[in-house]
Amino acid sequence: MTEKVNLLDLVPDEAERRLREFAVAHGEAAYRGAQVARRLWTNPAPTFERMSELPRAFRELLADHFSLPRLEAVARQRSADGTEKFLFRLPDGEAIESVAIPEGSRTTLCISSQAGCALQCAFCATGRMGFARNLAVWEIAGQVREMRLLDPPIAITNIVFMGMGEPMMNWKAVDPVLTILNASNGMGIGARHITVSTVGVLPGIEALAARPEQFRLAISIHAPSDALRRELMPINVKYPLAEVIEAARAFDRRVTFEYVLLGGVNDAVEHALQLGRLAKDCGAFVNLIPLHPGGALEFKPSTPERTVAFARELRRAGVEVAIRKSRGVDIAAACGQLRVERLGRRPPRRPDQDGHIQVA
Ligand code: SAH
């Protein structure tokens, strides 16, 4: 018996094409292809068995030839502010996190693209657990699918690739995932509501820029000079700030800079002035993020006064800025924290062992 085709690893058009051919080859009407394809993402079914609109024999036939794997939720925590955090176990025992963040009429799902991360940013919990592996297409898009399969489902309106891992180092999978999330025969989430966040992996930024859809780009800047950025983010050696800023300028849509405020480290007025020049230079919007405690004990969050003063300097420089609220602090809902709590840390590996860049 040949291995079953995992329908959730395919972009919707391709899945639909194969299902149509399969249906016809087995004496079913061609429209069955689109009918089954709709049950992958748009109106997902947990199993073929549960696609009750199909003849039973055809459902059994589908189950013999195709697979529809699930992510197993091993923990679900709800914060007082409504944020919900999920820990999913993967078939090989790895674990990843997703966080659903409600805000007014929107609910943003923060998804993971890798199990662990090779980049070792100094303040990040995921970096401390080291890199395990890239996630497969279905494991990334599946995080969103699982929200639709909950009872009651969580209606996700926005996606951010700000969970575990560096999406641009798994572009081979992230590229088709973007198609699945956006396609009308996939999850149907508008491209402007999908944000890919990166430390500044240049080939990945170029690949995202080359896509015709209006996907959004966020860049984790965190320091306005190479000297400081190198200390906080080792990747700055490979992709220095000036090149990252250049890539942001070349990106034809508006870019967001992410800037985690670390008390006494990167939150002085001088840093704000430098950051203001960089942001102005490429028309970037700046998100000031309070440090989530638990990422790294050697850092402390900026005081509210510092935070406000920092934002004021940026505004004075003509830069649009938002001060983000820390969400889900009581459930350790920052990058990698739940997994670290539950499963312990693994010894960190060096980034150069695993930090291969995969661009389609
Ligand atoms: N690797 C990508 C996406 C994952 S991290 C990236 O770095 O952009 C998503 C965001 O969370 C990044 O901006 C990251 O720097 C930030 N982050 C990591 N640890 C944090 C912490 N302890 N507190 C606040 N933000 C954190």
Does 298 qualify as catalytic in the annotation? no
In degrees, rounded to 5, the angle at the alpha carbon of residue 58 between the alpha carbons of residues 56 and 9 is 120
- pLDDT band with cut points at 50, 70 and 90 for residue 336: low
Give the amino acid at 11. Answer: V
**Tokens standing for 221?**
């800047």
Pocket test for ligand 1, best of 162, 196, 201, 338 (most atoms within 8 A of CB): 162
Coil vs helix vs strand at 55: coil
b (16+ CB within 10 A) / e for 3-37: eeeebbbbbbeebbebbbebbeeeebeeebbebbb
User: pLDDT tens across 58-116, in order?
Assistant: 999 999 999 999 999 999 999 999 999 999 999 999 999 999 999 999 999 999 999 99
- Residue 250 clears pLDDT 90, i.e. is over it: yes
Would you give the distance in Å from CA 251 to the centre of its chain?
19
Torsions phi, psi for 120 (to 5 deg): 55, 40
**DSSP letter assigned to residue 184:** T
- Which protein residue's CA is at the shortest distance from atom 3 of ligand 1? 162
Q: By C-alpha distance, which of 253, 259, 180, 184 is closest to 222?
A: 259
Tokens of 81: 């502010």
278-300 per-position pLDDT tens digit: 999 999 999 999 998 776 788 99
Query: Would the CB of 201 count as within 6 Å of ligand 1?
Result: no
From 97, 146, 166, 258, the catalytic residue: 97
Q: Tokens representing 58?
A: 């055809």
What gap in Å lies between CA 249 and CA 252, rounded to an integer? 8
User: Domains in the chain, start-ordered, CATH in brackets?
Assistant: 5-67 (1.10.150.530), 72-353 (3.20.20.70)
CB distance 123 to ligand 1 below 6 Å: yes
> How many other C-beta atoms can be found within 10 angstroms of the C-beta atom of residue 114?
27
pLDDT for residue 357 is more than 80:
no
| Catalytic-residue membership of 121 | no
pTM of the model: 0.92
- Protein residue whose Cα sits closest to atom 13 of ligand 1: 220
183: Cα separation from own chain's centroid: 17
Confidence of residue 131 (pLDDT cuts 50, 70, 90): very high
Q: Which residues contact 304 (CB under 8 A, 6 or more apart)?
A: none
Euclidean distance between CA atoms 105 and 78, whole angstroms: 18
**Ligand 1 close to Cβ of residue 292 (< 6 A):** yes
DSSP type of residue 303: P
Cα 210 to averaged position of ligand 1 atoms, centre (Å): 24
CA atoms lying within 13 Å on the CB side of residue 75: 19
Calculate what percentage of the chain has a pLDDT beyond 70: 91
The neighbouring-strand residues paired with 30 are: none
Q: Tell me which residue has its CA closest to atom 6 in ligand 1.
A: 198
